[in-house]
Structure 1
Amino acid sequence: MNSRLLLLLLLVYTVLGLYGLRLWQLQVVEYERYSTQSRGNYVRTEPITAPRGRIFDRNGKLIADNRMAVDLVYQGGEVEFKERILALLGLSELPKPERGQEVIVKANLPEGLIPTLAELTAGQKNLRLVERLERNYPRPISGSVLGYVQLANALQVKQGYDPDELVGVSGLEGGLENTLRGTRGARLVEVNARGERIRSQVIRPPLPGKDVYLTLDYDLQKAAEKALADSLEDLHKGRKRYGLPLDQKPKGAIIAVDPRTGEVLAMATAPTFDPNLFARRPTPREEIQRLIQDPDKPLFNRAVLPYAPGSTFKLVTSSMLLEKGYATPGTIYTCTAAFTVGRFTMRNWAHRNMGPMTVKGAIANSCNTWYFQAVWNAPPGSAPLVDDIAARAKEMGIGRPTGLEIPERSGFLPTRAWKRATFDEPWYPGETLSVAIGQGPVLATPAEIARMLSTIAMSGRQPELHLVKRIGDTPISPRISQVPGTHWAELQEGLRQTVTEGTASFQLKDFPVPTAGKTGTAEIPGKRMGLSHAWYMGYGPVDPNDPRPPLLVVAFFENGGEGSGVALPAAKKVMSAFWKVNTGSPAQPSPAPIPQPTPPSAARP
């Protein structure tokens, strides 16, 4: 008995010794390893999304902001008060999450439901309310100008974004991403073995993005957007005149600028969309897909896309002819109905002889044949002259970035070298005649046309366009350069005559504020008459001593017809809103005969 008892005691002490040895190993020898592992299991670091910077107009009106949204998320498993929660949400069943994942039961919970749901979900480890920041646009402007945000994609997450972080995709939101994006914070979260949160502590607060104050005037912006929307009646007049199907919506852009500084006071584009559509969660995918597939391209900002400039480009040709000495302010050509070179005849927009005129008259009456003669009679001959036109256009602001803080495409200026490299063909003299009146392969954006006209209005002082007035408390200084030239007055007087006696006089001759401007109609190869691009560019007051603030407006309509028929009235509405003048019903011109079809090179005013 004694030996068996001793053996049993030995066995017991051995087991206890082994347990004690293991306990000593865990508590002393491997303490650091298991302590670190324990903290890793139950204390984790979570990112805190930083608010994006807010966007204001020049007068402090809030355009883009952030708001706190609350979602109900579910991890799976049994839920208390399930039937009551489903009834509150109007659901029949909870969604099934993938293993180990959370699923959003309801995004953007109404504020009235949040207190009740907070009470019902309290203490439930698999059903909880989650707060997040959502972009909000209380005063949305043209969607493609303002842009929109989306959750970071896989590539952006690899680049340092959080999966729940909003990223600017286009327009101002995209162009100012580095300014608007804040710096994320961090918090320590302690959970128990069942995954329930016990406590949390912010260890690094998030830093909001910088607030941005735009140069845009919200009231003028809305006036420009309304002018685009209201242009449908004028568009339909042109369509009916040529027996064309009616448009359902206008396609175009209006940009209004302070020509002294390059500040963009309004930039509207049509058709457009509400950027709040992209900020919502859950994302309305069907609506967004319809936007993407819309043949009218509402996601495009037409103010920064290149188009054939038509007769607005004649100011470039006029400047080149005068500055190079190929024509003088007194050079006179007869504005004939047509101009013939060899076997080719190029026509003016008017089917009659308009009489002799100088460059000022050619601008005012938009005479194609005056430019054909001036270019053809230039000493170097018309073929090399295209390089002079391209060089002067670039100096005046076409074919290069305008300085805007949003993505933009530049216009295109053909040259002899370009044609040789692209088509392995020489440049033909007749092609220069088309380019001289803004036809052929030459392209310009409405923003570029605005900068070009600013250069003329300011006698060669060329401002870079910009949409940002200040970032936080730091103002953005205008960027001004000087374009060489001595004949700005002739261009200004020609633009003024356009309004007093030329192609814009029927709308603006008696306008309360003296202005200057130019109509433009660009015929498009392959398009029927009446589907031209319609332009108008104008500025005022023309007297530098006038106490009223200056304004420059460019209105463009894609396939809008004649510039004087649709773009001019739209620009006039923006001018009226800016200077707060009541023009009443404009005097209407006598009905013009329907013109006969003309070649694409015969641009209309």
Structure 2
Amino acid sequence: MNRIRWLAVTMSVALSVFGARLYDLQVTRHAQFAVQSDNNYQKDAVIRALRGEIRTQDGLLLATNRLAVDLIYTGGPVNSFDKIRYLAGVTPEMLKDGLPIAPDFSKEKEVVLARNIKAENLPALYEFTALQPNLELRERVERIYPQGKLAAHLLGYTREADQSEVQEGYTLGDLVGASGLEYSLQKTLEGRNGVLRSEVTAAGRPQSDRVVDPGKKGSDLVLTIDSTLQRAAEKALQEALPEINAGRAKYNAPPEPLVRGAIIALDPRTGEVLAMASSPTFDPNWFSRTPSPDKKAKANALLSSSLDAVMQNRVVQPYDPGSVFKPSTTLAFVEKWGNRSVQCSPVYHFGGATWKNWAHYSLGTVDARLAIAFSCNPWYYDSAAQNPVAYSNVVSKRIEQLGFGSPTGLELVGEKSGNIPSEGQFSAKSERWYPGFSINMSIGQGDVQVTPAQLALVLNTIINDGRKREFTVLKSEGGKAVPRKPVQDVSGGSTSAFELVKEGMGLTTNNTTRYATAKHILGPNFFPIRTGGKTGTAENALSRRYSYSYTNAFYEGYGPLGSPTFEVVSFFQNGGEGSGPALNAAAKMFAARWCLKLDERHHALPGQTPCLGELSQMHARYGKEAQQEAQAKTATSGQ
């Protein structure tokens, strides 16, 4: 009887354990196993989000997308591999790009068998791979730049997300920006991936598909760039090489193999950049397309030396400015100590040292206006020598207010700030400030470093009588207009010094001003629209070591005088004289803006009618807003 009782107890306990386990599996953990069951026949795939397109303000497509399809081996056995490779269109060129001749079927790993499969091969390949659970035709978004090198440094390029970015939330195969606007505006352009859920058999063969989440396309961008002016800027840079080498030949210097320079042009009324070009340049398609259309060019671009750096956007890199720095130091000096006149002699003596002017003869007596027009170094030497310490501190502080020493507001990560030296800066580092430092600073030499973009910003501030507005390259995002950036009044309460500087820049191109440095190209007898500007020839490390042929060449200009609608800064690293290649490039930009043709001397052909407001609709579009700003400015100044 006891045996029967113990057997009954044992059976009861066993049944209780089985019952509890059954309850746990069927009730307590029902949801968990239901999901696992679904996963046995459901497979999720990524729907790649299309990256936002980028266009110029006049509608030219600069960056777009295309769907590329790759054949992926996901591990395990594969039947009829040779036929699959044939259908995939694998070529010897693809094998050279690192694709495997055959996957290692003994290892469970993912291998790309073919990239960019041709559209005509896809139907047959989709049908064939449907019976091959270890093969996958995977869609990939590829970035395309239809205009090639146009605005390359501004646009930048993309690449596929790496492991570190996958850990941050990206998916393998996602595109991420690597430079330019593609990098700076990654969150705006990237979009959001969707989910495609497929039902598959136990063997992994697909049965049906369902879009769980369609994802979201990235926001489209419309830039402030005008395609006509952008092309003109890039052409002007390349056309300067013969002029640069002709100047170098005068000093028996070897010719340069390529142009290293930059041009930035904008509307001074709005702060909108109309053109931004840098040379040497590159094709963003080299980096975004897989496989690369030109692997050698891509490698050369990435391995360029610091001097030839193809990937470097010279618009936002700092350089010795030379005389294009003078309008700002003139303004700061005149505001603090007033206008003055000096004898513009070939040499200036101070502290036992001799400081030279660019001319080997006297230019007569000059005030601040003519000092700009003639680019008279002795006027600046003498101004700084009166009180070198005070000069450096007053001038450096003032020109930083105008826009030097800080980024310009461009939507580009990596814009450099440059350097504006001063006695205060040196004292903070327990270093001595010598009077000669102030003399060098007065003409944009010594430790002064500014970017072409900063030169354009300070010139813009001067043109607008102390109203400083940060730059932008964005017209709209996702179909919505980008608000204009606010204006900061840095006039200091008076605009008289600004007017004096603008008069001096106007005399730079005045045909009746004897030693004006830009009249031979932009004088009224050579160019029908009156402009103002400043030439600049800056010594740098190479020119101080070797010869004058290595100097940096600058020109900054704007027009029409009285009601400016266009502004440009041109720069050539080791380009010679500012009154040569840089001035000629600026003339080409003025001609492109106002629909003029130039002859071989860079003079406007006679009988032409400038298109002062008809190049595009932007000026008419913003005319009313600009007028309202002018009225507000007048009302404020009258209080």
1:482 aligns with 2:479: no
Alpha-carbon distance in 2 for matches of 1:493, 1:452: 16
Q: 2:125 aligns with which of 112, 117, 122?
A: 117
Equivalence for 1:522: 538
Equivalence for 1:597: none
Alpha-carbon distance in 2 for matches of 1:574, 1:587: 11
1:289 aligns with 2:299: yes
Unaligned runs of 5+ in 1: 1-13, 589-605
Equivalence for 1:554: 569
Equivalence for 2:64: 65
Alpha-carbon distance in 2 for matches of 1:446, 1:192: 63
Alpha-carbon distance in 2 for matches of 1:29, 1:452: 74
Equivalence for 2:231: 222
Residue type of the partner of 2:86? L
Q: 1:320 aligns with which of 326, 332, 336?
A: 332
Equivalence for 2:181: 172
Alpha-carbon distance in 1 for matches of 2:365, 2:332: 21
Alpha-carbon distance in 1 for matches of 2:199, 2:130: 17
Deviations 1:63-91 (A, max 9, x none): 11111111122345333372474374335
Equivalence for 2:54: 55
SS at match of 1:203: strand
Change (3 A) 1:543 1:36: closer
SS at match of 2:142: strand
Give, in angstroms, the shift of residue 103 of structure 1.
1.7
Give, in angstroms, the shift of residue 119 of structure 1.
4.1
Change (3 A) 1:37 1:481: same
Equivalence for 2:613: none
1:384 aligns with 2:403: no
Tell which deviates more after alignment, 201-210 or 119-128: 119-128
1:78 aligns with 2:94: no
Equivalence for 1:404: 410
Equivalence for 1:503: 517
Equivalence for 1:542: 561
Equivalence for 1:191: 200
Q: Contact 1:85 / 1:117 at 8 angstroms: preserved in 2?
A: no
Deviations 1:191-235 (A, max 9, x none): 222222222211111111111110001121111011111111111
Equivalence for 1:303: 315
SS at match of 1:307: coil
1:208 aligns with 2:217: yes
Give, in angstroms, the shift of residue 404 of structure 1.
0.6
Equivalence for 2:459: 453
Q: Between the two structures, name the one with larger relative contact order (CA 8 Å, sep ≥ 6).
A: 1
Q: What pairs up with 1:367-382 in 2 under 5 angstroms?
A: 367-377=376-386, 381-382=387-388
Give, in angstroms, the shift of residue 62 of structure 1.
1.4
SS at match of 2:232: helix
Tell which deviates more after alignment, 453-462 or 212-221: 453-462
Change (3 A) 1:467 1:84: closer
SS at match of 1:194: coil
Give, in angstroms, the shift of residue 121 of structure 1.
3.3
Alpha-carbon distance in 2 for matches of 1:587, 1:154: 53
Tell which deviates more after alignment, 480-489 or 269-278: 480-489
Q: 2:435 aligns with which of 429, 435, 456?
A: 429
Q: Contact 1:81 / 1:120 at 8 angstroms: preserved in 2?
A: no
Change (3 A) 1:426 1:267: same
Change (3 A) 1:181 1:482: same
SS at match of 2:509: helix
SS at match of 1:499: coil
SS at match of 2:558: strand
1:247 aligns with 2:226: no
Q: 2:109 aligns with which of 93, 101, 109?
A: 101
Q: 1:567 aligns with which of 576, 582, 594?
A: 582
Give, in angstroms, the shift of residue 375 of structure 1.
2.3
Deviations 1:238-261 (A, max 9, x none): 111111111111001000010011
SS at match of 1:112: helix
Change (3 A) 1:65 1:80: same
Tell which deviates more after alignment, 507-516 or 248-257: 507-516
Change (3 A) 1:48 1:432: same
Unaligned runs of 5+ in 2: 1-10, 604-639
Alpha-carbon distance in 2 for matches of 1:469, 1:131: 32
Give, in angstroms, the shift of residue 289 of structure 1.
2.9
Change (3 A) 1:115 1:45: closer
Tell which deviates more after alignment, 506-515 or 470-479: 470-479
Alpha-carbon distance in 2 for matches of 1:356, 1:206: 71
Give the share of equivalent positions with the same residue, in percent. 39
Q: Contact 1:512 / 1:583 at 8 angstroms: preserved in 2?
A: no
SS at match of 2:571: strand
Could you tell me the TM-score, scaled by structure 1's length?
0.87
Equivalence for 1:43: 42
1:256 aligns with 2:256: no
Alpha-carbon distance in 1 for matches of 2:382, 2:101: 78
Alpha-carbon distance in 1 for matches of 2:111, 2:568: 50
Change (3 A) 1:31 1:518: closer
Tell which deviates more after alignment, 229-238 or 115-124: 115-124
Deviations 1:108-166 (A, max 9, x none): 12233333433443422233422221111112423222111111122221221112211
Alpha-carbon distance in 1 for matches of 2:84, 2:268: 63
Alpha-carbon distance in 2 for matches of 1:132, 1:367: 60
1:468 aligns with 2:478: no
Tell which deviates more after alignment, 533-542 or 41-50: 41-50
Residue type of the partner of 1:537? E
Equivalence for 2:142: 134
Alpha-carbon distance in 2 for matches of 1:576, 1:251: 22
Alpha-carbon distance in 2 for matches of 1:382, 1:456: 24
Alpha-carbon distance in 1 for matches of 2:136, 2:412: 40
Equivalence for 1:150: 159
Alpha-carbon distance in 2 for matches of 1:385, 1:204: 64
Equivalence for 1:271: 280
Q: Contact 2:84 / 2:125 at 8 angstroms: preserved in 1?
A: no
Tell which deviates more after alignment, 117-126 or 58-67: 117-126
Alpha-carbon distance in 2 for matches of 1:202, 1:222: 43
Q: CA RMSD in A?
A: 2.4
Give, in angstroms, the shift of residue 519 of structure 1.
0.4
Change (3 A) 1:252 1:369: same
Q: Contact 2:542 / 2:550 at 8 angstroms: preserved in 1?
A: no
Tell which deviates more after alignment, 223-232 or 280-289: 280-289
Residue type of the partner of 2:186? E
Q: Contact 2:271 / 2:472 at 8 angstroms: preserved in 1?
A: yes
Residue type of the partner of 1:508? L
Q: Contact 1:142 / 1:273 at 8 angstroms: preserved in 2?
A: no
Deviations 1:1-34 (A, max 9, x none): xxxxxxxxxxxxx9xx99xx89x94985788254
For these two proteins, the number of residue pairs brought into alignment is 560
SS at match of 1:314: helix
